[in-house]
Amino acid sequence: MSVAVIFALAGLAAAQYPAYTGQLLVAPGRRADKCLGADNYDGAPVKIEDCNGGATQKWTFGDNYHVKIHGNKCLDVKDGKNADGTKMQIWTCNNDSSYQKFWYSFWDYTLSWKDTGKCVDLPDGNTNNGNVAQIWGCNGGNPNQVWTTGYLATDPPKTSQNGQYGTNQCGTGSSQTSKCQTAWLNDVDDFCVWAPPNGGEIGNTEREVVSYCTKSGRGTRVIPNGTLKGVHFVKTKDYVQVTGTGDFTKIGVTPNDDGGELDPHGADGNGNPMGGLVYGNTFGKNLQYHEWTSFMSATEFCFRACTGPDAAKNCQHIYDVMGCRWNMPANYDAGTFESCDADNALPMGVYGTSTWHQGVKPTPAAHPIPKSSNCHTLPTVTSAPVKRDHKRRQFSHDM
């Protein structure tokens, strides 16, 4: 049995919990800047709120299939009524109550009521504050049943996953020996890439890679000046993406390494790197990207971070041997440093009504490079202190 299969089976066995640990924010897949919250009393509705990281929004996934808040309150189906549209509330935890047993899948981010075929659901896909969550028949691929978990960028845990190599409490300094595993994607001159902490091939260090950034002041390592030979940043209505070329042996990648793919899932649901978190300011201040994908080699990189209801489709991670130019068609030219608006790319592997699967012959051509506009260029990209008042134009995902 392959290591990947062993990891996958181990992940399935533990799938009642999110991959992340500790007190978690639970956000609807449609809007990463919104959170599920509930006040501290029996019968309090579980409703949509602006994420603030307060006590009313910190959930813990624990034993007995409980999803806890306020210490002794649990996510609860009102009156235990097994019917579409029944509202969610919290109630004092009771180990014998079937109303309080939920199963979380970190593969598709669904939260299901155990043994009922019902899932926690966002009524009408409405992300307005005060909308109370409900149960509804589980429907794979329904964005109203996607619930991501994570942390405020300003309140990260020391480690977000058990067995993590590095840390997510990175501070505000910079060090070339940092073990920070938090990355940022903001603009052509404000982004990070993943690279080996102590040198090596990406495929052999994917679990431990750390963050190298163009900006100092986030506790990461800094990309040395002269490393980047070309950088091309685009923002679309659903994602941000940075691509380019360089000499990444300067940040520890083995010479001639063809590289590897990095994403928050990995073979076992724990991600490569394990504990890697990605944030940005394009779609909201300090917004966590729950879906992202990246390729890194000795000479080329690409990094896309997605949000909104189509995040998983736009940040597909299953084509892990196809490299940057097939997964993320874009400008990879050396000598140009630019930031543009752009149309969404066609989803990886989707050709009309057909979906191609890696390894099937013949291999289809990459999709065309999406149209871009409103480009501005820089003479080069060098390291500089982080801009604390980053003002890049933002997009909204109101649905």
**pLDDT, tens digit, for every residue of 340-374?**
999 999 999 999 999 999 999 999 999 999 999 99
Half-sphere exposure at residue 1, Cβ-oriented, CA atoms within 13 angstroms: 7
How far apart (Å, rounded) are the C-alpha atoms in residues 255 and 298? Answer: 6
pLDDT score recorded for residue 269: 85
How far apart (Å, rounded) are the C-alpha atoms in residues 369 and 331? Answer: 8
Is the alpha carbon torsion for 200, 201, 207, 213 positive or negative? Answer: positive
238: left (phi over 0), alpha (psi -120 to 50) or beta: alpha
pLDDT at residue 5 greater than cutoff 60: no
DSSP 70: T
Please report, for residues 28, 51, 237, 313, 393, the alpha-carbon distance to residue 284 in angstroms, rounded to integers and kept in the order given. Answer: 15, 11, 13, 21, 10
Question: How confident is residue 128, by pLDDT bands cut at 50, 70 and 90?
Answer: very high
Tens digit of pLDDT for each residue in 256-304? 999 999 999 988 888 999 999 999 999 999 999 999 999 999 999 999 9
Domain ranges of the chain: 16-150, 182-382
**Has this prediction a pTM greater than 0.85?**
yes
- The fold adopted by the segment(s) 16-150 is Trefoil (Acidic Fibroblast Growth Factor, subunit A) (2.80.10)
Backbone angles phi, psi at 120, to 5 degrees: -65, 135
pLDDT, mean over the chain: 93
3-state secondary structure 87-130: EEEEEECCCCCHHHCEEEECCCCEEEECCCCEEEECHHHCCCCC
Q: How many residues does the chain have?
A: 399
Tens digit of pLDDT for each residue in 11-48? 444 457 899 999 999 999 999 999 999 999 999 999 99
How far apart (Å, rounded) are the C-alpha atoms in residues 319 and 127? Answer: 32
Q: CA triplet 47, 59, 95: central angle to 5 degrees?
A: 100
pLDDT score recorded for residue 140: 84
Inter-residue long-range contacts of 74-81, CB under 8 Å, 24+ positions, other chains counted:
74/100, 75/46, 75/100, 75/102, 75/120, 76/100, 77/113, 77/135, 78/43
Tens digit of pLDDT for each residue in 173-188? 999 999 999 999 999 9
pLDDT score recorded for residue 17: 87
Closest CA to 41 of 91, 77, 88, 79: 91
Q: Which residues lie closer than 8 Å to 310 by C-beta, 6 or more apart?
A: 143, 238
How far apart (Å, rounded) are the C-alpha atoms in residues 313 and 349? Answer: 10
Question: How confident is residue 7, by pLDDT bands cut at 50, 70 and 90?
Answer: very low
pLDDT at residue 254 greater than cutoff 60: yes
